[in-house]
Chains A and B, each alone.
Chain A
Amino acid sequence: MYCHTGARRSTVAAIPPLQKCIGCHMTIASVRETPRIQKLFEYWDAKKPVPWKKVHDLPDFVRFNHERHIKRFYFAQGKPVKEVCGYCHGDIATMTVARRQKPLTMGWCVTCHQKDHPVDAVSTKTTHGPNDCWQCHK
């Protein structure tokens, strides 16, 4: 994960600093003159951050911890990246502009939390996500 580096090691996935976008895009000639990339460089020249519209936005009373989910499904269970990220975000690789693909409602989260799954790739022990209020609404 080059851009949203917080996903695997922090509570928030984080929007990368503008510097990171420019880091790649200054060398990608094929899209350099497209309108949106030009807009990006305008922000960079003015040293103003881009006001992104938050696509996967949960209300302030929900505290969603990205790191725990990645740790469980990618690192412990060893599932492939597309499956891990795609479960909630859909197939990002096919999107030019990211759009929310799943409901992200509490009921939807809880349905997954109630499913038993193996603790990691090799264990026979199973567990399921937390179903107490405190974990997400602290």
Chain B
Amino acid sequence: MIENGINRRDFLKVLGWGGATISLSGCGFTSIENGKETVVSYVEFNEYALPGIGVYFNSTCAQCDAGCGISGRVREGRVLKLEGNAVSSVNHGKMCGLGQAGVQAHYNPDRVREPLLRTGNQGEAITWDKALGLINEKLGGVKGDEVAFLTGGVSGHLKVLLKNYQDALGSKNHYVYEAVSPSVVRAANKKSYGVEMPHLRLDRAKVIVSFGADFLGAWVSPVHFSQQYAQFRKGTRPEGRGVLVQIESKMTLTGANADRWIAIRPGTEGVLAMGIINALGKAGLAIPADVAAASKAYTAERVSGETDVSAEQIDKLAHLLKTRTPSLVLAGGAAEGYAHGSQNAAAIAMLNHVLGNVGKTIEAPSRVPFPQVEAAVGNRIAVQALNDQLAKDKVKVLFVYGANPVHTAPAALKLKDNLKKAAFKVVLANYMDETAMEADLVLPLDSWLEDWGTSVPEYRAEGVQLNITQPLMERLHPDTRGAGDIFLSLLKQRRAEEYKKHEDFYAYVRASVLSIKNALGGMGKDDDLFWDETLSQGLIKLPGASAALSAKAGPNISLPASAAIDDAYPLRLIPYVTPNMRDGRNANQPWLQESPDPLTTIVWDSWVEIHPVTAARLGVEEGDIVEVTSRSGTIKTQVYVFPGIHPDAISIPYGYGHQALGRYAKEVGVNVANIMDQITDKETGELAFNETRVKVSKTGKRVIIVKEEGPAGGQQMGKKIAVRKSSDKVDLSKEV
């Protein structure tokens, strides 16, 4: 909107939060803008397109890895608003905030627009031909095992091409990295249920006991689980209205929705699970002999001492689970984020077996009929392994796509330094993020609203779905390209004969899908018709049988004794994956920064949550700037006093504190990865998210926190945005 030189911030400063009508110019008239706006039409326009009338196209959201379907409203050749795709079994027409902010990922002013070649500390814009030629040149004389690929989770036809390119180069080094993946839980699931991610039926459970699984917020597939949760809460379903119990050290969005929230001593989730099994046995539930033997030692007395959960509470939980069946017990990031995380997850899985939930609320996922397009799932060992190889000078050429490890991996890994050892680094990126800043060559990508592709979400919501990504408009910047097209071009350098029949990635995907048309329900249909229908729907539902779930794992649980308090670093750090920021990849979308955190309502900044008792002991108040120091580093941020956290823990949100990624992300908040200790789960080697121990010290500085709740006023990114004035001091009579 035109503001005619009136600075909104000054204006509001004068009036407090009251407002008078903002007057606009006009010869004598107070509300018409006269010649102030220009309106620009197209030079040539499609005859059938009507200005003002929106057409909807279906595609797939790429803001996180859940793979919800979107339906985008396109007006005059521009995508303006995203809604959910009603046909998608993942989200059934609903959307989360990240999806809504998707247009900001697309129209972001900080998108990379041309291939950039590093010359000293600058990036020089070069042509695509030169860029691709340079890659070919740098690969010459390099052995296959000296080439590495670091990507996020990939699936669909892009994964196929990527794999073929790796084969063409003779490289087996594909590191799939996801910063916030529940990989420990996946490994434990594989042992306990036979599959990494079973199909969960929240809507069939009478009770859900979640050990820190934030399924309404940021865990696995939040939109899908939210819908199941809505069913779960319906009093009219045969199971009656469900009861949710959340057990975690720091309250998540799901925890805030729970009927009972139990603050547990960090790391003792497995102990509590065993204690519940013990209590179930005492309450008369039939428990297999070996499990009973394993849980014998976990008496209510011992468990309550270790976990800070009272014996009465444990009995209540056992009683709840015994009488209301089927139930569902979930192990989330909170439980798995320790050096014994695998044991925690195993104990929780055992609880599910004991309660007889397997087969009722924990089902086998559908099998993907075409394994080549199945999702390659990421974890955090990937970046640790790559880091090791880089440190040993084993990587000469590195390709990075869909990952930003320089920001998300713990600084303790020294990844940034190790990256310098790779001779040639190619980063495919939408924005200059921290990893792209370290690249030798940056290839600009189409946004996911301009690109072609297919994908299969890792979490299969109901049956298997091949999601289609199609452009909702012509590309905004003429020199960006889709990742599929880039890898196809690179493949053509190596295997020209095999791939020359595919003009571009779109042609490749189309031909590939049509070649299995009969298996996809298109038997007897005309090729073009089938393809049009597929694009119109935005997805293809694949036939998929389910394998059965295996029997339970043996009860080889060995949980460590409670760790001694480290006097130097007395508090446990819990990096919190917020529903808005997740791993921080969308931090440059202002709508997400503007969306208040569900628990603290803080915007545009980081914070550290401290329990009131601990805050009193430390002598800090809300807004105090404190230094949070671990063995690996130190960061400074503002205190938020919050009762929803265990007194021995503090929590800082993950994904903030970018040093790059554009104007909306840079220097907003602090990066908690800078102080995370590189401690790993003993069994899987995964980064133990919650193992970092810290101490907190005051700096003497205090700010007013900018948040939705409470009185107005504060500082936003260092600038005062409004004065804090009590309402009896505001005199509007002079202003209006």
What is the interface of chain A, defined by CB distance below 8 A to chain B? Answer: 5-6, 9-12, 14-19, 43-44, 47-55, 57-60, 100, 103-106
Contacts and interface: CB of A to CB of B under 8 A. Distances in A.
Given A59-B31, A105-B31, A54 B45 contact: no
B51 A49 contact: no
A130 B31 CA distance: 20
Contact of A50 (B30, B32, B40, B53): B40
Given A12-B52, A17-B44, A59-B24, A103 B39 contact: no
Interface in B1-23: 1
B35 interface: yes
B529 interface: no
A54 B31 contact: no
B129 interface: no
Contacts of A59: 1, 24, 31-33
B370 interface: no
Interface string B30-56: 111111111111111100001111000
A12 B50 CA distance: 9
- Of the four ranges (under 10, 10 to 19, 20 to 34, 35 or more), the interface on chain B belongs to 20 to 34
A18 B43 CA distance: 5
A104 B32 contact: yes
Contacts of B38: 51-54
B32 A51 contact: no
A17 B40 contact: no
Contacts of A12: 51-52
Contacts of B50: 5-6, 9-10, 14
A17 B53 contact: no
A19 B1 contact: no
A6 B76 CA distance: 12
Contacts of A47: 43
Given A53-B35, A59-B33, A15 B40 contact: yes
B37 A15 contact: no
A50 B33 CA distance: 20
Nearest to A106: B31
Given A10-B50, A10-B53, A57 B36 contact: yes
Contacts of B42: 17-18, 49
A125 B33 CA distance: 37
Given A59-B1, A103-B29, A54 B37 contact: yes
Contacts of A52: 38-41
Contact of A10 (B35, B37, B40, B52): B52
A19 B40 contact: no
A54 B35 CA distance: 5
Contacts of B39: 15, 51-54
Contacts of A44: 43
B1 A60 contact: yes
A66 B668 CA distance: 44
B734 to A, nearest CB: 26
B632 to A, nearest CB: 49
B32 A14 contact: no
Interface of B: 1, 24, 29-45, 50-53
12 contacts: A5-B50, A9-B53, A10-B53, A14-B41, A19-B43, A43-B43, A54-B37, A57-B32, A59-B1, A100-B32, A100-B34, A103-B29
Nearest to A16: B41
Contacts of B40: 15, 49-52
A12 B45 CA distance: 16
A45 B222 CA distance: 52
Contacts of A19: 43-45
For chain B, what secondary structure do more than half of its interface residues adopt (helix, strand, loop), or is it mixed? loop
Contacts of B35: 53-55, 57
Given A14-B52, A55-B35, A57-B34, A49 B29 contact: no
Given A49-B43, A104-B32, A105-B30, A57 B52 contact: no
A71 to B, nearest CB: 14
Given A53-B38, A57-B34, A103-B29, A17 B24 contact: no
B32 A103 contact: yes
Nearest to B36: A57
A68 B247 CA distance: 56
Given A15-B40, A16-B41, A54-B37, A10 B51 contact: yes
Contacts of B36: 54, 57
A5 B49 CA distance: 11
Contact of B41 (A9, A10, A15): A15
A11 B29 CA distance: 24
Contacts of A51: 38-40
Nearest to B35: A53
B238 to A, nearest CB: 41
Nearest to A15: B41
Given A10-B52, A11-B52, A58 B45 contact: no
A55 to B, nearest CB: 7
Nearest to B44: A19
Contact of A58 (B32, B44, B51): B32
Contact of A18 (B31, B44, B53): B44
B256 to A, nearest CB: 32
A50 B37 CA distance: 13
Which among A48, A55, A57 has the greatest number of chain B C-beta atoms within 10 A? A57
A2 B296 CA distance: 86
Given A10-B52, A53-B39, A57-B36, 11 more contacts: A14-B41, A15-B40, A17-B41, A19-B45, A43-B43, A44-B43, A49-B41, A55-B34, A59-B31, A60-B1, A105-B31
A51 to B, nearest CB: 4
A52 B42 CA distance: 12
Given A58-B32, A59-B31, A48 B51 contact: no
A58 B52 CA distance: 15
A14 B51 contact: yes
Which among B31, B32, B38, B40 has the greatest number of chain A C-beta atoms within 10 A? B32
A18 B53 CA distance: 20
Nearest to A17: B45
Nearest to A14: B51
A11 B30 CA distance: 24
Contact of B51 (A6, A43, A55): A6
Contacts of A18: 41-44
